[in-house]
Amino acid sequence: MRILVVGGGIAGATLAVALRQAGFDPLVAEARHSRAALGGAFLTLAPNGVNALRAIGLGDVPSAAEGFEVSGLDMHNARGRRIAELAGEHDLDRYGARGVVLRRARLHAELTRRAQAAGARYRFGARLVDLRHHAAGVTAVFADDETVEVDAVIGADGIWSTVRRLTWPDAPRPRYTGIVDCGGWTTVDLPDTSRQQMYFGHRAFFGYVVRDSLAYWFTNVPRRDEPERTEFDNLDHQDWMTRIRELHADDPAPIRAVLGAANRSLGAWPLYDLPDLPAWHTSTVCLVGDAAHAVSPSTGQGASLAIEDAVVLARHLGTGRRPETAFAGFVAERKSRAEKIVRFGRQIGDRKASSAAGNLFRDLTLGFFLRMGAKAAREQYAYRVPQRPESPYGPGATRA
């Protein structure tokens, strides 16, 4: 089977490794021009994501990518009082792994290196622009007019997926969440934090974690109207940081210490998630990762779900069934889990956005909401990629 993976992000690179292990010779087409150009800030790999990497022998990737383990989080209100916690001390016993904080570029580069070492073919600078379906398969057309003939196309091309748009022109578009995210890392004079520290600040939500005097921080700036796609392309970092410091001027001391030390944010990113899609596959095309189910970063599950998808899809394709059957099995196994996490992320995002209003009702119900959130997180972490694909049409399975 000739397989084209469109997009060499976290899902695409992991899928390339898993497909090589299953005996395929995939081609990965990545729009960016080189491995070095694959950027981003930082992200958390949850215990379920670490376990999914282990399932394909990539358990050492987080440490090779210089990630550090963090278990649990403390949630504070605007006065600095801890109002909820997600204890992480027993994560290793409970889930067999701890969460890991990683710079996205390092994780991405390491996964790409593993995929290439496993023999996956890559084409950088290959932006897919069209898919032409015919009796013998699919012709993929790229922006430079190059074409590739394949039997199956996997759309691993992220939240603004071209594969999705070409295959389902009427599919819902990504939904703006009302938040502009920004952050980075900076040297600070603060002790290490064993847990992630989160604050519902007076005007914006803030999170940070410190390891070896380096604080990894982010803030969620509420912004009701959807920004233009290019609005933050040429960010004036000085202006932007002044604005961020003003937003958090009345918030607890650790936030002010981190922002006082930070002289720039790595960028400003309007946050989107993806409403449930009616379908993730056809007989020749299948979506994975953010292309299928982009979650808000508030869940800490985007990369973990992408990795789970890659492992599960390669297992289904590895059974040697027709692509359509393998795709249906994959979707039956993955869709409801991923979409539940998208909804969970939306609820958290709405709470964060309402933070700006100093909403009394929110403050009163926050404790209950956070306890529910902790329960959902435990369920998410406990997931293990099944070792063998279940029957694609087993109990409860639906053809998408």
Indicate whether 157 belongs to the interface with ligand FAD (CB under 6 A): yes
CB of 89 to ligand FAD, least distance (A): 25
Identify which of residues 34 and 387 has a Cβ nearer to ligand FAD in the complex: 34
Indicate whether 303 belongs to the interface with ligand FAD (CB under 6 A): yes
Place of tokens 């748009």: 165
Choose the stretch contacting ligand FAD; rule: CB under 6 A; options: 8-16, 226-234, 236-244, 358-366: 8-16
Q: Which tokens sit at 28?
A: 């990965």
Indicate whether 55 belongs to the interface with ligand FAD (CB under 6 A): no
Choose the stretch contacting ligand FAD; rule: CB under 6 A; options: 92-100, 165-173, 299-307, 360-368: 299-307
**Segment 13 to 42, residues that bind ligand FAD, using CB under 6 A:** 29-32, 38-42
CB of 303 to ligand FAD, least distance (A): 4
Identify which of residues 78 and 346 has a Cβ nearer to ligand FAD in the complex: 346
3-state secondary structure of 186: strand
CB of 357 to ligand FAD, least distance (A): 26
In 3D space, the residue among 50, 41, 40 whose CA is nearest the CA of residue 99 turns out to be 50
In 3D space, the residue among 53, 52, 46 whose CA is nearest the CA of residue 111 turns out to be 53
* Single-letter residue type at 159: I
Spatial neighbors of 349 by CB under 8 A, at least 6 apart, are 177, 178, 179, 220, 271, 273, 296, 298
Identify which of residues 6 and 366 has a Cβ nearer to ligand FAD in the complex: 6
Report the DSSP beta bridge partners of residue 256. Answer: none
User: What sign does the dihedral 137-27-385-49 (CA atoms) show?
Assistant: negative
Closest residue to ligand FAD: CB criterion:
9
Identify which of residues 59 and 267 has a Cβ nearer to ligand FAD in the complex: 267
C-alpha span between 204 and 201 (Å, rounded): 5
Q: How many CA atoms does the CB half-sphere of 186 hold within 13 Å?
A: 21
Indicate whether 290 belongs to the interface with ligand FAD (CB under 6 A): yes
Indicate whether 273 belongs to the interface with ligand FAD (CB under 6 A): no
Backbone torsion region of residue 399, taken as left when φ is above 0, otherwise alpha when ψ lies between -120 and 50, otherwise beta = beta
Could you give the string, one character per residue 117-146, with x where binding to ligand FAD holds by CB under 6 A and - elsewhere? ---------xxx------------------
DSSP state of 230: T
Backbone torsion region of residue 125, taken as left when φ is above 0, otherwise alpha when ψ lies between -120 and 50, otherwise beta = left
In 3D space, the residue among 139, 127, 147, 119 whose CA is nearest the CA of residue 16 turns out to be 119
Using CB under 6 A, which of 184, 302, 323, 373 touches ligand FAD? 302
User: What sign does the dihedral 196-257-349-300 (CA atoms) show?
Assistant: negative
**Number of residues in contact with ligand FAD under rule CB under 6 A:** 32
Using CB under 6 A, which of 47, 49, 72, 158 touches ligand FAD? 158
C-alpha span between 4 and 297 (Å, rounded): 27
Indicate whether 9 belongs to the interface with ligand FAD (CB under 6 A): yes
Identify which of residues 77 and 296 has a Cβ nearer to ligand FAD in the complex: 296
Identify which of residues 254 and 297 has a Cβ nearer to ligand FAD in the complex: 297
H runs (alpha helix) in 23-147: 47-55, 61-64, 91-95, 104-117
Could you give the string, one character per residue 351-380, with x where binding to ligand FAD holds by CB under 6 A and - elsewhere? ------------------------------
Total residue count of the chain as it appears in this document: 400
Indicate whether 259 belongs to the interface with ligand FAD (CB under 6 A): no
Indicate whether 207 belongs to the interface with ligand FAD (CB under 6 A): no
Site residues for ligand FAD per CB under 6 A: 6-12, 29-32, 38-43, 104, 126-128, 156-158, 162, 289-291, 297, 302-303, 306
